[in-house]
Amino acid sequence: MTILTSLRDALFGTAWAPLARGAWCRRQRRRLRGAGKPVVWVPRESVAWAEWGAAHGFFTLERMSGLPYLSALAAPAA
């Protein structure tokens, strides 16, 4: 953990968590929309945020041999 992260957590505590989680989910969604990124692998420490993002419609969370990854949501049918 960096000094800035420690300081942020000490000052804002849990009030920062929802904002950070939403920012993380938006960043992953942008990565999925980029060219050549059909999936984004999720590190173990980020699985809880990925599950939240999938539940709130940012992307889909799937698993391959137990390893979690994100994929873009399918476009709605016209």
Q: How many CB atoms lie within 10 A of CB 59?
A: 22
pLDDT digits (tens, 9 = 90+) for 7-54: 767 776 666 677 888 999 999 999 998 877 789 999 999 999 999 999
**Tokens 């929309």, located at residue:** 33
Q: Which one is predicted more confidently, 13 or 60?
A: 60
49 token code pair: 């945020």
Question: What is the value of pTM for the model shown?
Answer: 0.72
CA distance 64 to 22: 25
Rank 3-7, 31-35, 58-62, 70-74 by mean pLDDT and report only the highest.
58-62
62 token code pair: 């799937």
